[in-house]
Amino acid sequence: MFKNIIFDCGKVIMQYDERYICSFVAEDKDDIELLATVAMARKYWNAFDEGTLTEEVYLREVKKELPAHLHGAVEKLCAEWTSHMPPVPGMEAVVRELHENGKKLYLLSNFNQRLRGELHLAPALKMFDGLVISGEIGMVKPNADIYEYLLDTYKLDPAECIFVDDREDNIEAGEKVGIKGYLFDGDAEKLRTYFKETGIL
């Protein structure tokens, strides 16, 4: 029986869209595209997730790749980007129902250290029993060590856990350590139906 429900954050609990986020710091379509592809490039975001990149270094390096007129925009982006990740529709209700039914809820997310201070942006996160944030511990999905860290830290039996993530490689990595996976496609009601059909709810 699944007692512990583990969730990813981006694209599961909170929406994440680079162009939408960048539209709050620039107006020109080409500028938005440039910021989305350069300032939010995976080489930078992966380093943030790993906890190996500071905002100071990020700003210095990314400005070298951008025209001068976007330097102010990237500073604003760096300071505000998490404010433009609204909750995924329907997910707060699903989380609340799980919480009210006595399930233990955990976050397992590739995210920088800022997330812990931004929990107010996604009320669902306040119902969680534990948070594992990659940028705080220097481990990232889909490496096995972060899954083991979650299990060890909260004394969880993997056979009693199910993991909801939007990436197949992350799901597969969890299954290798014995955690059942659910590949989330953005449809909260579909997930809720799955929980009902499997007796989780």
Please say whether the beta carbons of 136 and 113 come within 8 A.
Answer: yes
Taking the chain (201 residues) in consecutive chunks of 10 residues, what is each chunk's mean pLDDT? Answer: 96 97 97 98 96 96 98 97 95 98 98 88 94 96 98 98 98 98 98 97 96
- Residue boundaries of the structural domains of the chain: 4-15+85-197, 18-84
Report how far residue 87's alpha carbon sits from residue 69's, in angstroms, rounded to the nearest whole number. 31
Burial of 107 (0-12, 13-18, 19+ CB in 10 A): buried
DSSP at 114: G
User: In what helix (H) or strand (E) does residue 188 lie, and over which residues does it extend?
Assistant: helix 188-197
Asked if residues 171 and 147 have their Cβ atoms less than 8 Å apart, the reply is no
Give the per-residue pLDDT at 120: 85
- What is the reported pLDDT for 30? 98
Tens of pLDDT, residue by residue over 106-159, are: 999 999 988 888 888 889 999 999 999 999 999 999 999 999 999 999 999 999
Fold held by 4-15+85-197: Rossmann fold (3.40.50)
What is the pLDDT, as a whole number, of residue 1?
A: 85
Question: Interhelix angle for 42-50 vs 55-65, to 10°?
Answer: 170
